Chains A and B, each alone.
Chain A
Amino acid sequence: MSEEKGAPPPVTTESGIPVEPLYSPASTTLDYGGIADPGTFPFTRGNFASGYRHKLWTFRQYSGFGTAAETNARYKYLLANGGTGLSVAADLPTQIGYDSDDPDVTEEVGRVGVALDTLADAEILFDGIPLDQVSTSWTINGTAAIMLAFYVAVGKKQGVSVERLRGTIQNDILKEYVARGTWIWPPEPSIRLIVDTIEFCAEHVPRYNAISVAGAHFRDAGCTAAQEMAFTLSDAVTYVDAVLERGRMSIDEFAPQVSFFFYTHNDFFEEIAKYRAGRRRWARLVKERWGAQNDSSCLFRTGCVAGGSTLQAPQAQNNIVRVAYQAMASVLGGVQSMFTAAWDEPFALPTEESTTLALRTQQILAHETGVGRTVDPLGGSWFVESLTDAMEERLVAIMADIDEHGGMVRAIEDGYVQGLIAEEAWTAQKAIESGERPIVGVNIFQTEEPPVDLQVYGMDDAGRQRQLDRLAEVKAWRNGDDVRRVLKDLQTAAEQPDVNLMPLLIEAVEAYATVGEITQALRDVWGEYRQPAVF
């Protein structure tokens, strides 16, 4: 017997896109003839005609803790086990521009990543790792230009010419003002420094991505998949406009070195549609807004993380399954590199064992499941193509809303974006606590289990002391006059918005100026960002 019921609530994706019970030729207005092949503008079906058949995505495991020597050992382990790219996790003082001997940051030295104070640390970090044979990704923003200077300087010492260096610096400060917060200077000079790095890489380090415009942090702060992609594209528009405004480069000269970075969460098909729609929207922006001549400038090259805030502490091994599905969605969406998070991430810095399992998750996907045999296997699916179109419509609408607020910088400075994200985070939290959004082991299928004890990594006192000792040694043997002179030159150049600071930054790190000294020198000229506290 059926009971009278009100209309059931509409079924939607997590971003609120309606999902029909069935997709068929009759329910879609898709123009299949208009869906271009992979490797063809607007790249909905992927950047490359051959997909993953000839080149798999890069397996890139985020890693770094304690001292440079400890992290160097972990890198060698990952490379020996089939990792194909390095990813540097720096500690917070390094990311925000404080030296390990700064009394305000003692608690944080080496805690969430490796401590890098001077070029001497970077030399140890990459000791025995030939920089012409690996690519290195840096999740670092405020001090990204200094890290790029480190990498160029270490390459020189290894005898690797700068044009052979490969990798990525995240270098996306706008999202740091919104989420995670490793900002240092106000937006204007920070964007100028990003423009400097983009120009420098385009001119001298052609295989290095000067920026990885990242939505992942918006996502972890609580926004939807559609907002994540749209805010990120709006950030990218801000940076590209800034490079073009300086007037030294055309879009085709630097667009190939702009890359992207996102979280892949649990809503399987929406995540796939997010990457497909984002790729198409970016291609159209590059061609239509900035008039790129080369199709290769239009490529939306992206890395991703499977894991993040979707991972749960209760029944933590369930996270292995979550990450595997997210990894598959990422590959079906056509990403270029991936980090799979370890299952114990919600409560500990991953162990060697859990890190290896996370890497194996990608290797099984790549070598056993056959997902890479054909390019964009979901292309032409009535559902996936419809969802891709609906997602692109959302992206256009959200980006137009940001434009109406005067662009991303303005929307961040007045807290508008922060407010939108806080609203979504609140809604999601309520939906989880009410059970409206089911999460296995958390609000359904719970089991009685002893509470998991969080393990917090802290650098031991001996490690911190080694770091402090090395910093003191470097300060003792370096030429203090050289350091003062180059920092002074840097400040003079920083006052002139059209001077590219990268050559001076390289000179500064080669004189063994510290990250803290360089940051402070620029803070003296540019001031410090002041945040609106919106909740």
Chain B
Amino acid sequence: MSGSPRRVLVAKPGLDGHDRGAKIVARALRDAGYEVIYTGIRQKVGVIAELALQEDVDLVGLSVLSGAHLGLARQVLEALRDNGLEDVKLVIGGTIPASDCQALRDMGVDAVFPTGTSIDEVVAGVNGLWPGGRGVSPRYRRREPLGEENDVVSA
């Protein structure tokens, strides 16, 4: 049986530029067999949803360290919905207080990885989002290359 691996968009919304964690998670997921695209920092919510559509991803992973996770997660969920991407999973990591984790799940975030989560836990958590493990993406692949990597950043 052949098929393409699941695709993940690791994204940094908001103005915070600390992306050590985002890059480590991107690499961990790539090593775990996912196809990973990293947006770079300071991405507008609309751009993230647009990339998710263009890149035909199965999962969007947000990294937020500024404390703005509740507002940003809500905006990304709405933007994904606006782009018809209800089936795309959304996970979020960063400096997220325990008291906000449930609020994020309640609004529709599939998993939350607060500071202190290990690489293995993140990979296991992501694998667990699909019944039967990460497996192969069932989604139709539209592969429209984005051009140069840095084109994902727009003013």
Chain B residues closer than 8 Å to A180, beta-carbon distance? 17-18
| A interface SS class | loop
> A93 on the interface (CB 8 Å rule)?
yes
Contact present for A108 and B66 (CB under 8 Å):
yes
Q: Is the CB of A426 within 8 A of B24?
A: yes
Name the contact of A422 in the complex, choosing from B27, B36, B71, B153 (C-beta under 8 A): B27
Q: Which residues of B101-155 have CB atoms within 8 Å of chain A's CB atoms? A: 114-116, 118-120, 149-153, 155
Query: Does B1 make an interface contact (CB < 8 A)?
Result: no
Residues of A contacting B36 with CB < 8 Å?
A: 535
List chain A residues, Cβ under 8 A from B95.
347, 454, 456
Interface string of A451-480 (1 = CB under 8 A from B): 101111110000000000000000000000
Q: Which of A47-55, A247-255, A525-533 contacts B (4 or more CB under 8 A)?
A: A525-533
Q: How far is the CA of A458 from the CA of B152 in the complex (A)?
A: 29
Query: Which residue on chain A has the smallest CB distance to residue B71?
Result: A107
Once the chains bind, are B67 and A535 in contact (CB under 8 Å)? Answer: no
Given A313-B116, A532-B150, A533-B152: A220 and B97 within 8 A (CB)?
A: no
Q: Which of B15, B27, B40, B118 contacts A108 (CB 8 A)?
A: B15
Residue from B14, B26, B67, B116 in contact with A456 in the complex, judged by beta carbons closer than 8 Å: B67
Answer yes or no: A429 CB below 8 A from chain B CBs: yes
State in angstroms the CA–CA spacing of A221 and B36 once bound together: 20
- The yes or no answer to A299 lying at the interface (CB within 8 A) is no
Chain A, range 133-183, C-beta contacts under 8 Å to B:
176, 179-182
A221: chain B residues within 8 A (beta carbon): 18-20
Nearest opposing residue in chain B for A432, CB measure: B118
By a CB distance below 8 angstroms, the chain B residues around A96 are 15, 42
Contacts of A222 in B (CB 8 A): 20
Given A111-B67, A182-B17, A426-B24, CB of A531 within 8 Å of CB of B115: no
Does B18 contact A426, Cβ atoms closer than 8 Å? no
Q: Report B-chain residues with C-beta under 8 Å of the C-beta of A528.
A: 155
Closest residue of chain A to B31 (Cβ to Cβ) is A426
The interface on chain A, measured as residues whose beta carbon lies within 8 A of the other chain's beta carbons, has a size of: 45
A187 CB-CB contact with B under 8 Å: no
Partner pick for A429 among B24, B68, B155, CB 8 A cutoff:
B24
In the bound complex, residues from chain B placing their C-beta under 8 Å from that of A433 are: 118-120
A430 is an interface residue with CB less than 8 A from chain B: yes
How many A-B Cβ pairs are below 8 Å?
A: 115
Q: Is the CB of A456 within 8 A of B97?
A: yes
B44: chain A residues at CB < 8 Å are: 104
B41 at the interface (CB under 8 A from A): yes
Using Cβ atoms and an 8 Å threshold, which residues of chain B touch A365? none
Q: A425 to B20, Cβ gap below 8 A? A: yes
* Docked-complex contact A530 and B23, CB < 8 angstroms: no
Nearest Cβ in chain B — how far from A25, in angstroms? 43
Specify which chain B residues have a CB less than 8 angstroms from the CB of A98 in the assembled complex.
Answer: 15
Is A314 an interface position by the 8 A CB rule?
yes
The A67-92 residues at the B interface (CB cut-off 8 A) are 92
Shortest Cβ distance from residue B18 to the other chain A in the assembled complex, whole angstroms:
6
Query: Within the complex, what minimum Cβ distance (angstroms) separates B28 from chain A?
Result: 8
Kindly identify which residue among A92, A93, A95, A533 contacts B40, using a CB–CB cutoff of 8 Å: A533
- Residue of A at shortest CB range from B97? A454
Once the chains are docked, how many angstroms separate the CA of A528 from the CA of B155? 7
Cross-chain contact A425 with B23 (CB below 8 angstroms): yes
With beta carbons under 8 angstroms apart, the residue of A111, A182, A533 that contacts B150 is A533
Say whether A105 faces chain B, with CB atoms less than 8 Å apart.
yes
Contact of B90 with A by CB under 8 A: no
Given A528-B155, A533-B150: A220 touches B18 (CB 8 Å cut-off) = yes
A105 lies within 8 A of B96 (CB): no
CB distance from B124 to the nearest CB of A (A): 13
The answer to whether B116 and A314 have CB atoms under 8 Å apart is: yes
What are the residues of chain A within 8 A of B71 when measuring CB–CB? Answer: 107
Q: Do A453 and B99 touch (CB < 8 A)?
A: yes
- The 0/1 profile, CB within 8 Å of A marked 1, for residues 48-76 of chain B is 00000000000000000011100110000
CB within 8 Å of A: which B2-43 residues: 10, 14-20, 22-24, 26-27, 36, 38-42
Q: Which 3 pairs from chain A and chain B are nearest by CB?
A: A181-B17, A456-B67, A533-B40
| Contacts A426-B27, A533-B153, A535-B22 known; 6 new A-B pairs at CB < 8 A | A92-B14, A347-B95, A347-B115, A451-B98, A454-B98, A535-B24
Instruction: List residues of A whose CB falls within 8 A of some B CB.
Output: 92-93, 95-96, 98, 104-105, 107-108, 111-112, 176, 179-182, 220-222, 309, 313-314, 346-347, 422, 425-426, 429-430, 433, 451, 453-458, 523, 528, 530-535
8 contacts between A and B (CB under 8 A): A108-B15, A111-B66, A429-B119, A454-B95, A523-B155, A533-B153, A534-B23, A535-B26
